[in-house]
Amino acid sequence: MSLTSSTIGRKVAMALSGLFLVVFLTQHFTINFISVFSAKTFNEISHFMGNNPLVQFVLQPILIFGVVFHFTMGFVLEIQNRKSRAVQYVKYKGSANASWVSRNMIWSGAVVLSFLGLHFYDFWFPEMNYKYIEVLPLDPARYYEEMTHKFHDFLRVGLYIISFIFLALHLNHGFASSFQSVGVNNKYSSSIKKFAIAFSVIIPVGFIFIALFHHINSL
């Protein structure tokens, strides 16, 4: 099978990369959430993640590949799907038979993508600069401070909140949908769906909570 040429192959690739991002998101959330309780532990984990060669040179490139693959394939499919109906309907009642979130994955995805741009600008680029360009001295205690500093600006916190709402919408359809894509539709599906929907609410709400928590603390 070709994961990148046939319709089903692409669908499966979309689902697998999406599921991979869900796993990453869970891990990212867990670490961020720790910052609410303990600056010290947060610093320790961040230092580990930032300097462990396995994380830096194996997991990080895989993650970046996963993200780029996911949204590139998303755009490729969107273009292909639009071409499949060359002449549009005069009247098309999409809401009659499908949810808004399922019909607008490309838009929720696009918002998440712009957020990733901002997020990279906020954290990843400074981090790369610190470690690999300017090669500043190791400071295992700087992470908490750097992070809370960013959340002082309410404009940034606002943008984060909007992005997380769109992430919730994206996952609200995407997470459960990826099981169907890889062929899982059985007696467990309704439980999987419940779990996926709970996840799509809890994780983004949790991220919003963390952002607000540090914002309020910084006032």
Q: Smallest distance from the beta carbon of 193 to other proteins, in angstroms?
A: 11
Q: Where are the alpha helices (DSSP H) in the chain?
A: 7-37, 39-51, 53-54, 60-83, 100-103, 105-119, 125-128, 143-150, 154-181, 189-218
3-state secondary structure of 136: coil
Residue 112 interacts with ligand HEM (CB under 6 A): yes or no: yes
Burial 187-204 (b: 16+ CB within 10 A, else e): eeeeebeeebbebbeebb
Residue 172 interacts with ligand HEM (CB under 6 A): yes or no: no
Question: Interface residues for ligand HEM in 51-70 (CB under 6 A)?
Answer: 70
Query: How many residues line the site for ligand HEM (CB under 6 A)?
Result: 24
Residue 208 interacts with ligand HEM (CB under 6 A): yes or no: no
Give, in degrees to the nearest 5, the angle at Cα 172 between 199 and 112: 95
Among 32, 163, 178, 200, binds ligand HEM (CB under 6 A): 178
| CA–CA distances in Å: residue 108 to residues 32, 46, 71, 204 | 23, 29, 11, 13
From 36-44, 130-138, 157-165, 171-179, give the range in contact with ligand HEM by CB under 6 A.
171-179
Residue 160 interacts with ligand HEM (CB under 6 A): yes or no: no
What does 152 interact with, of ligand HEM, other proteins, none (CB < 5 to 8 A by kind)?
A: none
Q: Which residues of this protein are in contact with ligand HEM, per CB under 6 A?
A: 11, 14-15, 18-19, 21-22, 25, 70-71, 74, 78, 105-106, 109-110, 112-113, 170, 174-175, 177-178, 181
